[in-house]
Amino acid sequence: MGNTANQPPLHLEPRQQAILAQEYPRFSDDEYARRHAALAAAMDKHGCDHLLVVTDHRAGNAPQWVTGWPGSAEAYVIFRPGGRMVMHMEWHNHVPLARRIAQDVEVRWGEHRGIELTIAELQRRGAKRVGVIGPLVVSKFRRLEAAFETVLLDAEYTQLRMRKSAEELDWLRIGAALSDAGMRALVAGTRPGMDERELAALVEAAYIGLGGTTMIHYIGVTAMAAPQRHVPPQYASTRKVHAGDIVTCELSAFWWDYAGQVLRSFTVDADPTPRYRELHAVAEATFDAVTAVLRPGTTMASILEATALIERSGYTVCDDLVHGFGGGYFQPIIGSKSRMAGALPNMVLEENMTVVVQPNPVTTEADEAIRSGVQVGELLRITRDGCESLHRLPRGLFRAGQVI
């Protein structure tokens, strides 16, 4: 299970293969009970009698974490410990599937006035102080706060998403395997004459048939002899691939709300130039230096210090070098000493946090348009005494057409 005849295996454990094979995958009752107990504790801390969990205008993933339903357009979930949840959602043709997927939820069509119906339901229940998680647009939030005392609980939700359960880690490993499949297809299938849009199609074709969906595929193509990109762009262009190019890429395929993230670089019909060989060596050595310090209790200053090879080698970074990941883009978000990503967060690492380490050393020409850069990195879990990669893809500076 989990691959077609034309695709390489995903290297998943049997329990992960079983998740992949489900008609609509779901977490266990125990996992949902864990999440709901955590929400109840957050509500109790802030004196809330009800919680409203929101997807609005296709933004916000908290309803999926709470119910299993991805909140395809709009979803307003009313949660109260010990009671059945109610969700008003759009669109009407989405309701039948939501009723199949959402766990322990009374699903109601929002009738294009979902916030109005949600407020009425909260009033019927006698709600007084309502916690809110998710990006409710201002006009709707004003209607909610006119009816109830409201408390924003997004920070508490973020904290709950930063540490992963064993079941969540299985889903992340599936997302990582799907992301690896996209990278393998990209490296093996890139040929001169293709453009960046066609490269993106290679990536997506590798996992769509396995149940994956796209979070991102940033793919940049530039000539090693005359570089015009030092970090892959967020949107594909019509730039064609030529011999002597280097391709840098950052890929994340979703398994529902759980994505991997893998970053690699490879050349096209040419050996790497001395500059790119050195950039890649610095990236790999920085990856090793940073991952060597990752463990429970590691401070942010220790992580920043581990990035110092970038500057010692005469380079800087464009991308964040470390960031939390898995259900969101979380702290710790760290750049390097020459390109800080804001103030260092006041935190230490904890077991079962998941982070991406992604050194992106770039040259420092005054004209940013001619800088050179590479991408290296992947998603890791903080273990009891160190860290482990959630990916199975080899590291290295590859060559287009190579099977990895």
Q: Which CATH number is 95's domain given?
A: 3.40.350.10
Domain assignment of residue 383, yes or no: yes
Structural contact between residues 85 and 67, judged by C-beta atoms closer than 8 angstroms:
yes
Q: How far is CA 345 from the centre of its chain?
A: 20
In 10 A of CB 41, how many CB atoms? 12
- Spell 254-265 as b/e; 16+ CB within 10 A means b: bbbbbbbbbbbb
The H-or-E segment that residue 285 falls in is helix 274-293
Kindly state whether residues 114 and 171 are assigned to the same domain. Answer: no
Interatomic CA distance for residues 396 and 394, integer angstroms: 7
Q: Is 62 helix (H, G, I), strand (E, B) or coil?
A: helix
Kindly state whether residues 304 and 253 are assigned to the same domain. Answer: yes
Q: Are strands 50-55 and 129-133 parallel, antiparallel or unpaired?
A: parallel
Domain assignment of residue 10, yes or no: no
- 59 CB contacts (<8 Å, ≥6 apart)? 134, 135
Q: Which of 130, 152, 174 is the last residue of a domain?
A: 152
Domain harbouring 364, CATH code: 3.90.230.10
Q: Which of 127, 152, 177 is the last residue of a domain?
A: 152
- Rg of the chain taking only CA atoms, in angstroms: 23
Task: Based on DSSP, count helices (H) and strands (E) in the chain, helices before strands.
Answer: 12, 18
Domain assignment of residue 253, yes or no: yes
Reading the block at residue 256, the tokens are 């529902």
Domain assignment of residue 331, yes or no: yes
Kindly state whether residues 120 and 233 are assigned to the same domain. Answer: no
- 96 CB contacts (<8 Å, ≥6 apart)? none
- 8-state DSSP, 338: T
Kindly state whether residues 257 and 115 are assigned to the same domain. Answer: no
Q: Which residue, 400, 399, 396, 377, is CA-closest to 387? A: 377
The H-or-E segment that residue 11 falls in is none
DSSP bridge partners of 274: none
Q: Is 96 helix (H, G, I), strand (E, B) or coil?
A: helix
Kindly state whether residues 94 and 228 are assigned to the same domain. Answer: no
Domain assignment of residue 15, yes or no: no
Kindly state whether residues 199 and 128 are assigned to the same domain. Answer: no
C-alpha distances in Å from residue 324, one per residue of 163, 215, 296, 307, 310: 10, 16, 14, 16, 21
Q: Which of 152, 186, 210 is the last residue of a domain?
A: 152
Kindly state whether residues 205 and 140 are assigned to the same domain. Answer: no
Kindly state whether residues 214 and 333 are assigned to the same domain. Answer: yes
Q: Is 66 helix (H, G, I), strand (E, B) or coil?
A: helix
Domain assignment of residue 161, yes or no: no
Domain assignment of residue 249, yes or no: yes
Kindly state whether residues 84 and 205 are assigned to the same domain. Answer: no
Kindly state whether residues 308 and 180 are assigned to the same domain. Answer: yes
Kindly state whether residues 221 and 146 are assigned to the same domain. Answer: no
**How many domains does the chain divide into?**
2
Domain assignment of residue 33, yes or no: no
Kindly state whether residues 241 and 387 are assigned to the same domain. Answer: yes
Instruction: State residue 11's pLDDT score.
Output: 86
* Mean pLDDT in order along the chain per 10 residues (404 residues): 56 94 96 98 98 95 97 96 96 97 96 98 98 97 98 97 98 98 98 98 97 98 97 97 98 98 98 98 98 98 98 98 97 97 96 98 96 98 98 97 96
Domain span including residue 63:
47-152
Instruction: State residue 5's pLDDT score.
Output: 44
